[in-house]
A = this chain, B = another copy of it.
Amino acid sequence: MLDHIRIVLVNTTHPGNIGAVARAMKNMGLADLCLVEPKHFPDEAATARASGATDILDAARVVGTLEEAVGDCQLVVGTSARGRHIPWPVIDPRELAAIAAPLSGQSRVAILFGREDRGLTNEELHACHLHVHIPSVEGFSSLNIAAAVQVVCYELRMAVLQDVRAERPQWGTDWDIELADHVELERLFEHLERTLVDIEFLDPNNPRQLMPRLRRLLLRAVPDKVEVNVLRGILKMVDRAVAGELRGQRVGRSKAD
């Protein structure tokens, strides 16, 4: 779904970073990597840091100019720190993803990442339709190149997944056991109340706000059916303890016998 997106690394110095970029891309479902004049590639350090994303490294295209890397792309985006002297349209990675992810099947997109020490040149940035800026802290704004690729690819993947995702707020559990219904919960609370009286924690003549507090706590958690059964099981065993029916209590108890 993101196969129309190409990650372009310009003049990367450290091959380890190229490997880390390949890993970040593969984690997020991207595959098209293009390297413009890398200092060292292929390289063992790249393979090591790719940590299994060697298919991305093997398929990476190595070219001599930016032109060759982006010539077939309709949208070219350069990553940049703020404050270049000619203002350019600047977006953040989320906005980039909102623009680029839906272009699948229509347009090819290149996202450029510059040198570790100096980023992209002004000339390279002026070849771009848009600049993307990761909103880092002023005074410590330069991300590691693989970290920057990770953030951009993460936003692209989130944009793809969010089309599928419902936007409702979380309620209840998100696993496969059915939620307890009202009747099951009320039976649980009745049982709990009886047991609390039996263990002399709840004084029926002065109940204060105890049951409302416990109801509120459990209702916040929105228990499933298995959880309600577990709690009922615990209450039954407490009832037996109160009645002196546990194995450990049986001997010598005239009243319980």
Contacts and interface: CB of A to CB of B under 8 A. Distances in A.
Interface of A: 20, 23-24, 26-29, 49, 51-53, 87, 89-95, 134-137, 140-144, 146-147, 150-151, 154, 157-158, 161, 169-170, 173-176, 196, 198-201, 210, 213-214, 217-218, 220-223, 226-227, 230, 233-234, 237-238, 240-242, 244, 246-249, 251-256
Copies of this protein in the assembly total 2
Given A244-B249, A253-B244, A144 B51 contact: yes
Contact of A201 (B154, B233, B255): B233
Contacts of A135: 157-158, 161
Given A52-B140, A220-B220, A242-B249, 19 more contacts: A24-B143, A24-B147, A27-B136, A27-B141, A28-B137, A29-B137, A87-B176, A89-B170, A92-B158, A144-B146, A147-B147, A147-B150, A150-B151, A200-B237, A210-B230, A217-B221, A252-B253, A253-B253, A254-B254
A174 to B, nearest CB: 7
A200 B233 CA distance: 11
A246 B252 contact: no
What 3 A-B pairs come out closest when comparing CB atoms?
A: A87-B175, A221-B221, A220-B221
A240 B176 CA distance: 38
A200 B244 CA distance: 12
Contact of A137 (B26, B147, B252): B26
A199 B27 contact: no
A247 B200 contact: yes
27 contacts: A20-B144, A23-B144, A23-B147, A24-B144, A24-B147, A26-B140, A27-B136, A27-B142, A27-B143, A89-B174, A90-B174, A93-B154, A136-B157, A143-B150, A146-B147, A154-B154, A169-B170, A198-B241, A199-B238, A200-B237, A201-B233, A213-B226, A214-B230, A217-B223, A242-B249, A253-B255, A254-B254
Contacts of A144: 20, 23-24, 49, 51, 146, 150
Nearest to A53: B140
A93 B136 CA distance: 17
Most chain B CB neighbours (cut-off 10 Å) among A198, A221, A226, A241: A241
